[in-house]
Structure 1
């Protein structure tokens, strides 16, 4: 025997109405959710790097105008951070990553305030033989004239060497600075100002080179000779690298990163090459 449902019944009518409302609200929630999940606008950061160098980034985000962002402590926070590390180099000497212009952590909207780059160079055979330098880009909200695409910044790193530790191992520190239009190294750090209204879907590029000549980390602590740099000592009565004073007294030896005992840098030995 078949049973026919009378939709004109009052109770059934209420159930049907509630079901329709639930479906509509669910569809509306899905629509809103779909909008909130729209990927943020981004720009591409790209770096051409010398051999044994790489670049990673840290984006600093601040609350959007009118927003209050709450940290884990329950107190408003001023700056949130996202870290960018390329999974695979685009080529052997190029790295690339996407930088969002907005972020929605902590249940609020925040906007990109600045981008810090970490420039890391390897100078020896071991994993510990790496040193870092930084570059910084600020984000400006001022309206501006259209810029060229991609926006290209040029910089150069110079290795500075010194001895360190009781065994006087050579370590190297990169000093990275901006290059001017003539290709000369300036005193200012690598970086600049980026216009927010020009960044979406654009490319910002850093072309990084390395100087052919290395210099002592401490000026006046090494003497350059025809055979190479010699480290001075004797001022403070230690066997370590110290300021040069006449009559010059030099370290008996120091160690290269690969463990060799040397008397001059970078040739290691003062014998004819």
Structure 2
């Protein structure tokens, strides 16, 4: 084969290869506005598309696949963002999104382990939604939710630890029972934005209801019911812990003011 002909065939083959790129899957954008020292990661879960059977290398059928999203850096100081594909072919078969699970991480202290996790989730509905006008801008769904810090003592030295809970907000602005999340319509997701706006309650509460008494100087932990020097249910006449430790090692009698 002549050199010029070989070069022409090679360049033609490369042009055909580069011109036949696969169409990227449609996506939606997930955003989370988060308080200081909070972040959100996500796991998109997929199921076989209608009529599709997914076979693992072992020969067994499987019915779920996952993609994990962890933003390298927040879009801003208080926002994370990632794009979620509506379909997934990375597992050797055609799969469609069935839900998005979120992990909300809040850091309450300076040490790496001074953190707590709360979960949230969005399910994908195949029920038809209200049709959008032609050429309309993709919708932005905004979910406003609130997180609450709860405190307790733990361990033989009774160090303060904090637990995070995040829930929906009721019509009166108070935290409701349902967990964070919601349902999203598949036929409105492509090129849309789903936004989670998180706030934090200003006042912390005891993790165990009825185990602390609120005083003008702060919260005091009860003890005495079971004859230990640990945090226990409050009963009259009230008996309080002699002291507990703040995360920085201080011995305190009230939370969060430390001293009475």
* Structure 1 and Structure 2 fold alike (TM over 0.5): yes
Whole-Å separation in 2 of the counterparts to 1:67 and 1:175: 38
Native 8 Å contact 2:223 2:230 kept in 1 = yes
Whole-Å separation in 2 of the counterparts to 1:81 and 1:242: 43
2:150 matched to 1:156?
no
- Greater per-residue strand proportion: 2
Match of 2:122 in 1: 137
Native 8 Å contact 2:150 2:205 kept in 1 = yes
- Greater per-residue helix proportion: 1
Match of 1:64 in 2: 49
Native 8 Å contact 1:221 1:231 kept in 2 = yes
Whole-Å separation in 2 of the counterparts to 1:73 and 1:240: 53
2:43 matched to 1:53?
no
Identify unmatched segments of 5+ residues in structure 2. 1-5, 133-137
Match of 1:180 in 2: 170
| Structure 1: 4+ residue segments shifted above 3 A | 71-74
Native 8 Å contact 1:125 1:258 kept in 2 = no
1:245 pairs, out of 218, 227, 235, with 235
Match of 1:224 in 2: 214
Q: Deviations over 1:197-248 (max 9, x none)?
A: 1111110001110000110000011111111001111111221111111111
In structure 2, the CA distance between the partners of 1:34 and 1:165, relative to structure 1 (3 Å rule), is: farther
2:75 matched to 1:90?
yes
Whole-Å separation in 2 of the counterparts to 1:94 and 1:87: 12
Q: Deviations over 1:164-187 (max 9, x none)?
A: 111111111111111234433211
Whole-Å separation in 2 of the counterparts to 1:187 and 1:79: 29
* Coordinate RMSD, CA, aligned: 2.3
In structure 2, the CA distance between the partners of 1:253 and 1:72, relative to structure 1 (3 Å rule), is: farther
Aligned residues: 247
Native 8 Å contact 2:98 2:123 kept in 1 = yes
Native 8 Å contact 2:65 2:91 kept in 1 = no
Alignment of 1:1-273 (within 5 A): 30=17, 34=20, 37-71=22-56, 73-146=58-131, 149-270=139-260
Native 8 Å contact 1:144 1:195 kept in 2 = yes
In structure 2, the CA distance between the partners of 1:200 and 1:257, relative to structure 1 (3 Å rule), is: same
Structure-2-length-normalised TM-score: 0.88
Give the drift of 1:149: 2.3
